[in-house]
Amino acid sequence: MSASANRMRGGMAALPFIAPAALFFSVFVLWPIADSIWVSLHDWDGIHRMRWVGLGNYTELFGDDVFYTALVNNIWWLLSYMLAPVFGLAMALFLNQSIAGMRLYKSLFFFPFVISQVVVGLVFSWFFNGDFGLLNLGLHAIGLHGVSLLGNANWATPSVIVAGLWPQTAYCMILYLTGLTAVNGEIVEAARMDGARGWNMLWNIIIPQLRPATFIAVVVSVVGALRSFDLVSIMTKGGPYDSSAVLAYYMYEQTFLSFRYGYGAAIAVVLFAIMDIYIAIFLVIMLRQERR
């Protein structure tokens, strides 16, 4: 629907409606962003006076090995999370049938997204446990050696990502299931008449029609990947030896465990800058859709 001519006029009349939300949002979201940038230019332990260091925290950051580990891990998270839309689409195609009980099946498949990441993290820590985890039991059963995945510097990050992909895939699945109900049946039938089927049909007819679902699935997966904190905190605490740190966790650790507030703020600003790229892309696409 385009902007209509007889909408009510005037910013002053809208003010009492928007002001409360705008006030809360400014105090707890907008101002803190600015303040974090300010804090990042200081040396601060959170208690005593802040000491101005200019870009000192940033120069230190760019020489910090753990920062690079966290940054690289974030990139792994981001890339791996792009599997969530792919798996989610596959699951949605598998479940997009109408037989008795299908609704219940769909809801049960969606389960992992509804529960807290704290619970997901605990469940998977238990699953991956080196001594008695179900995974190792399976490995033993087929004659392989068990491994303590979360205690292994090479495997910790991939293991945590697997745990994260579980709910994320469920989320993408629901987006695609809804998208599939909106696919134009006539076009599908017409393509079938023309002999399109299987991959060909999926790639040329279905996926283009699922673009809105794909857009949202990618957006929420990117945000989910960059926000990854809960699972790292529950499953590995960034270890062993900081090998599974991500920016979100490293920031928390530096601030509260090492009492380096300024340094923590600088890490947050870097993460924010990365996220801004995605926010900008999202806004541009959204506002363009709006204008049509």
Partner 1 sequence: MFPRPIQTASPGARALYRVALPVSLIIWLLPLLAIFLTSARTAQDLAQGNYWGWPHGTNLFGNYAAVFTSSPMGRYLLNSIEITLPAVAGTLVLSTLAGFGLAKFRFRASSFVLAIFIAGNFVPFQILMIPVRDLMIHVFPLYNTIWALIVFHSAFQTGFCTLFMRNFMREIPDSLLEAARMDGAGSFRIFWLIVLPLVRPALAALAVLEFTFIWNDYFWALVLVQSDSARPITAGLQALQGMWLASWQLMSAGAIVAATPSVVVFFLMQRHFISGLTLGSVKE
Positions in 24-83 near partner 1 (CB under 8 A):
24-25, 27-33, 35-36, 39, 46
Nearer to partner 1, 35 or 194 (CB): 35
Stretch that binds partner 1, among 55-63, 75-83, 145-153, 207-215 (CB under 8 A): 207-215
Interaction with partner 1 in 255-274: which residues (CB under 8 A)? 255, 261, 264-265, 267-269, 271-272
Nearest-approach distance from CB 178 to partner 1, in angstroms? 4
Nearer to partner 1, 21 or 65 (CB): 21
Q: How many residues does the chain have?
A: 292
Measured distance CA(26)–CA(33) in Å, rounded: 10
- Half-sphere exposure in the Cβ direction for 108 (13 Å, CA): 6
Query: Using CB under 8 A as the criterion, what x/- string covers residues 174-203 for binding partner 1?
Result: xx--xxxxxx-x--x------------xx-
Q: Does 141 bind partner 1 (CB under 8 A)?
A: no
Whether residue 209 contacts residue 126, with contact meaning beta carbons closer than 8 Å, is answered with: no
Measured distance CA(90)–CA(113) in Å, rounded: 17
Nearest-approach distance from CB 49 to partner 1, in angstroms? 14
Closest by alpha carbon to 201, among 189, 218, 214? 189
Q: Does 156 bind partner 1 (CB under 8 A)?
A: no
Q: Which distant-in-sequence residues (6+ apart) come within 8 Å of 141 by Cβ?
A: none
Among 156, 160, 225, 226, interactor with partner 1 by CB under 8 A: 226
Closest by alpha carbon to 156, among 40, 50, 95, 77? 77
